[in-house]
């Protein structure tokens, strides 16, 4: 996810800027609380999520979900999930294995 990359220090690509302008963001994995807030502040209206935290081997955000953050803050974001879940979960779990 490009906004997530910004979170870890890389500058967003041209693709990320185009996605922000279209107000649609695709994520391999459900964004963490900080990236979710950045998505909201960027004016993103639709978020397409691949893997969810509950499906991953290793998670550092407890039982966080985007929906819980939206409930807590009263913010609006259309969530589109169930897209390439198996592939996205495998990509993230493989990455977890590689960073041990
Ligand atoms: Zn993040």
Low-confidence ranges of the chain (pLDDT < 70): 1-21, 100
**Confidence (pLDDT) at 39:** 93
Structure tokens, 38: 């950045």
Non-local CB neighbours of 53 within 8 Å, separated by 6+ positions: 29, 30, 59, 61, 63, 64, 65
CA–CA gap between residue 8 and residue 80 (Å, rounded): 24
Q: In what order do the strands lie in the sheet with 78-80?
A: 24-29, 46-51, 78-80
**Confidence (pLDDT) at 67:** 96
Rounded to the nearest angstrom, the distance between the alpha carbon of 67 and the centre of ligand 1 is 15
Rounded to the nearest angstrom, the distance between the alpha carbon of 6 and the centre of ligand 1 is 9
Rounded to the nearest angstrom, the distance between the alpha carbon of 34 and the centre of ligand 1 is 5
**Confidence (pLDDT) at 14:** 54
Q: pLDDT tens digits for 53-78?
A: 988 887 788 889 999 999 999 999 99
**Confidence (pLDDT) at 1:** 46
pTM here is: 0.74
3 state DSSP class of 19: helix
CA–CA gap between residue 22 and residue 43 (Å, rounded): 9
Q: Do the Cβ atoms of 6 and 34 come closer than 8 Å?
A: no
């Amino acid at each position: 996810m490009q906004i997530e990359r910004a979170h870890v220090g890389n500058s967003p690509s041209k693709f990320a800027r185009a996605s922000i302008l279209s107000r649609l963001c695709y994520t391999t994995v459900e964004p963490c609380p900080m990236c979710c807030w950045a998505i909201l502040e960027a004016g993103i209206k639709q978020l397409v999520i691949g893997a969810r935290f509950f499906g991953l081997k290793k998670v550092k955000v407890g039982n966080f979900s985007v929906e819980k953050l939206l409930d807590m803050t009263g913010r609006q974001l259309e969530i589109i999930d169930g897209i390439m879940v198996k592939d996205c979960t495998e990509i993230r779990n493989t990455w977890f294995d590689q960073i041990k």
